[in-house]
């Protein structure tokens, strides 16, 4: 019984934002689930076991401002993108390392990131 409880336990932690963060155990998505989820995040591309998207800005300052705005949603979800900055372009790559592939966390964060762009 205790093992069952531990297997479905929900971990709570306080993120850097000071907000309560709910962290559910991540599970790797099937190919079918990934295909379905990709339909919810236009512009994101599947690359191996990652999803990626490049955002283009007018200049370096706008690109860095965008990267700084990623902190809050990433910390809230307890999930962080790999970030590549090339002057006015920011490429984000998401995967869930602990499951060796994509999980709902990746798609949840992608949706949050897309909301940062007007």
**Marked catalytic residue, from 19, 31, 80, 82:** 80
pLDDT for the residue numbered 48: 92
Asked if pLDDT for residue 75 goes beyond 70, the answer is: yes
> Which residue is listed with tokens 């963060």?
21
The shares of helix, strand and coil residues in the chain, as percent rounded to the nearest 5, are 40, 25, 35
Is 80 assigned a catalytic role? yes
Is 108 assigned a catalytic role? no
Is 75 assigned a catalytic role? yes
Q: Structure pTM?
A: 0.79
Quote the distance between the C-alpha of residue 63 and its chain's center.
18
Q: How confident is the model at residue 51 (pLDDT cuts 50, 70, 90)?
A: very high
- Mean pLDDT, to the nearest integer, of 100-109? 96
Which domains does the chain possess?
27-114 (3.30.1360.20)
Whole-number percent of the chain with pLDDT over 90? 77
């Amino acid at each position: 019984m205790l093992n069952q409880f531990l297997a479905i336990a929900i971990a709570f932690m306080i993120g850097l934002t000071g907000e309560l963060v709910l962290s559910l155990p991540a599970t790797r998505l099937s190919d079918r689930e990934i295909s379905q989820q990709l339909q919810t995040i236009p512009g994101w591309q599947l690359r191996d076991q990652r999803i990626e998207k490049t955002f283009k800005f007018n200049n370096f300052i706008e690109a860095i401002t965008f990267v700084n705005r990623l902190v809050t949603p990433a910390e809230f979800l307890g999930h962080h993108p790999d970030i590549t900055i090339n002057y006015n372009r920011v490429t984000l790559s998401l995967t869930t390392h602990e499951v060796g592939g994509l999980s709902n966390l990746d798609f949840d964060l992608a949706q949050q990131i897309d909301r940062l762009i007007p």
